[in-house]
Structure 1
Amino acid sequence: MELIIDNLSKTYANGVKALQNISLEIPTGMFGLLGPNGAGKSTLMRTIATLQEADTGTIALGDINVLKQKNELRQVLGYLPQQFGLYPKISAEVLLNHFAVLKGITNKGERKELVESLLHKTNLYQVRKQNLKGFSGGMKQRFGIAQALLNNPKLLIVDEPTAGLDPVERNRFYNVLSELGEHTIVILSTHIVDDVKELCTNMAIINQGQVSLKGNPLQILEELKGKVYKKTINKQELNEYKQNYKVISDKLFLGKPTIHILSDVNPGDGFIQIDAALEDVYFSQIFNNTNLKTNK
């Protein structure tokens, strides 16, 4: 099954063009949607999840016309939004059971088995009796995934799921999503490059409401092979280097900026060639609008 998005556009009443002719084909597996805050990622996720309308375009999940058959889509959709509320004085087990009832799982035995299975899957079974107010950020996110899986979805959308998580919780969350991606279309919307690098076999970068790049991360990295160079410079030199080179990123190292540039030839001048990272691809698209080959 594939999720096919074709020429999707959305302009808000204030004139902001949140989506501009977005077209994507998303197969079963983990699909990373990268972009800065305000790029249009959340608008796209909410539109796919039938929470808001598009102006033009179509979305199809198999035989389901998402924009017209909203109820049919919701029956096979799991959704974890960027922010969601939980009842703090209820245990994880009780609340998940309540959500299962709301999802239409009326058989008590079947519901109990499903709730226990999902608590095991998300590594929450040992704390199932604990009230949610005592959960860490990562535990709450894993609970969010558990409730999103109650209907055994064919499409799972997670919007900025690892923001604010510590490395241990992030790795646990990675493991849960990776397992789910074996049999489900999972869309991971994020501005954290490592999330996509660790999990996704396909990706797209969206910026200012448009898809600037899409494809397999490894194939995309091949396009930058031999073209990325770095150098540590003085702070006062940064603007000069930005004028003379295609600087795609700068970071402080021991108090001095280390810059990464794109160049088809060895620039000399003390630059060292390095292996391209997905972060270099991301910055080249977001900040410099560099035209890499895509499979559009």
Structure 2
Amino acid sequence: MDQLIIKDLSKTYSNGVKALQNISLQIPKGMFGLLGPNGAGKSTLMRTIATLQEPDTGSVQLGAINILHSPNELRKVLGYLPQQFGVYPALSAEMLLNHLAVLKGVIKKNERKAIVHALLHKVNLYEVRKQKLGEFSGGMKQRFGIAQALLNNPKLLIVDEPTAGLDPAERNRFYNLLSEVGEQTIVILSTHIVDDIKELCTNMAIINKGNVIVQGNPIQIMDNLRGRLYEKTIQKSELELYRKEYQVISDRLYLGNQLVHVVSDSYPGSGFNPIDANLEDVYMYQIFNS
């Protein structure tokens, strides 16, 4: 089975920003999560893999395809849903998908109709296929985006921040759809939403400031904090004091007080309770230390 192999990928923009710094990843078939804050380099990496921009150094290989040397070969087997996905609001879902199928080389009318209808069923938009895209909800537009990305039966599917702005029901529908697609192909899910990764991905990497700071299975990554995470409820006015004294990786309001999560190799003292780490704790810990 083809793998996506990224080696020593670097990109520095003309303004001096080091967007990628020697990124190396090995991504097998299935759902792969790329997690990081805004500005971490995720979109630069996605655009580079999708052949929309070139790196300064490094290589990207999908099976036998050298992506940087043969971008057109990669495009034949690539599906891409960018962060900003525009539609023609006056066209129906069926009409635009049919048009995009022509652009992707599906010339025979009957074959094209069968593919378009099958994809509209797959993303649960068949019943509204005659409706104008301008009338679609955010979740419906995202599902249409996945349909267009699947037109060429891709070996590699890239989705960049796909659930931002979706309500919980639409997000769950999107999770289910991506999970189904991930059974057959390599799917890279780039996001800053921890729940997206937790729900879907068996492999992941956290990226910050252009560097991969951790990669692996989410459960194994969470094990790195086993027995080292504590929480305590404090007064809001005490927060800065605790930040100075402890490694506070997160804080949130809870019933009017501040709930802090602290990483410590030994019991940090009175009032702290040991807790199991979740993926958000790991994410905050890794970002805090990078």
- Fold match, TM over 0.5? yes
Deviation at 1:268, TM superposition (A): 2.3
Deviation at 1:265, TM superposition (A): 1.6
The answer for the alignment partner of 1:287 in structure 2 is 288
Kept in 2, the 8 Å contact 1:32–1:202? The answer is yes
Kept in 2, the 8 Å contact 1:29–1:184? The answer is yes
Deviation at 1:155, TM superposition (A): 0.1
Q: Alpha carbon RMSD of aligned pairs, Å?
A: 0.6
Deviation at 1:110, TM superposition (A): 0.6
Deviation at 1:266, TM superposition (A): 1.7
In structure 1, distance between residues paired with 2:65 and 2:228: 43
Deviation at 1:187, TM superposition (A): 0.1
The answer for the alignment partner of 2:110 in structure 1 is 109
2:149 is matched by which residue type in structure 1?
A
Q: How do 1:106-255 and structure 2 match up within 5 A?
A: 106-255=107-256
The answer for the alignment partner of 1:33 in structure 2 is 34
Deviation at 1:200, TM superposition (A): 0.1
In structure 1, runs of 5+ residues without a counterpart are 290-296
**Cα deviations by residue, 1:47-82 (Å, 9 ceiling, x for unpaired):** 000000100000000000001100000000000000
1:178 is matched by which residue type in structure 2?
S
In structure 1, distance between residues paired with 2:258 and 2:113: 56
1:212 is matched by which residue type in structure 2?
I
Deviation at 1:288, TM superposition (A): 3.0
Deviation at 1:183, TM superposition (A): 1.0
Q: Which moved more, 1:194-203 or 1:254-263?
A: 254-263
In structure 1, distance between residues paired with 2:237 and 2:89: 51
1:104 is matched by which residue type in structure 2?
G
1:13 is matched by which residue type in structure 2?
S
Question: The residue matched to 1:206 in structure 2 has which SS?
Answer: strand
**Cα deviations by residue, 1:250-295 (Å, 9 ceiling, x for unpaired):** 1111222111011122222201111100000000011233xxxxxx
Instruction: Say if 2:13 is the partner of 1:18.
Output: no
The answer for the alignment partner of 2:57 in structure 1 is 56
Q: Which moved more, 1:147-156 or 1:253-262?
A: 253-262
Kept in 2, the 8 Å contact 1:248–1:288? The answer is no
In structure 1, distance between residues paired with 2:54 and 2:256: 47
Aligned pairs, how many?
A: 289
In structure 1, distance between residues paired with 2:289 and 2:77: 39
The answer for the alignment partner of 1:292 in structure 2 is none
In the TM superposition, structure 1's runs of 4+ consecutive aligned residues that sit over 6 Å from their partners are none
Q: How do 1:256-271 and structure 2 match up within 5 A?
A: 256-271=257-272
Kept in 2, the 8 Å contact 1:221–1:281? The answer is yes
1:215 is matched by which residue type in structure 2?
G
Question: The residue matched to 2:226 in structure 1 has which SS?
Answer: coil
Deviation at 1:88, TM superposition (A): 0.3
In structure 1, distance between residues paired with 2:46 and 2:228: 33
1:48 is matched by which residue type in structure 2?
I
In structure 2, distance between residues paired with 1:193 and 1:84: 22
In structure 2, distance between residues paired with 1:243 and 1:211: 27
Deviation at 1:203, TM superposition (A): 0.2
1:191 is matched by which residue type in structure 2?
H
**Cα deviations by residue, 1:111-143 (Å, 9 ceiling, x for unpaired):** 111001100110111111100011000000000
In structure 2, distance between residues paired with 1:256 and 1:99: 53
Identity, % of aligned positions = 73
The answer for the alignment partner of 1:94 in structure 2 is 95
Deviation at 1:222, TM superposition (A): 1.1
In structure 1, distance between residues paired with 2:241 and 2:95: 60
In structure 1, distance between residues paired with 2:75 and 2:118: 22
Question: The residue matched to 1:156 in structure 2 has which SS?
Answer: strand
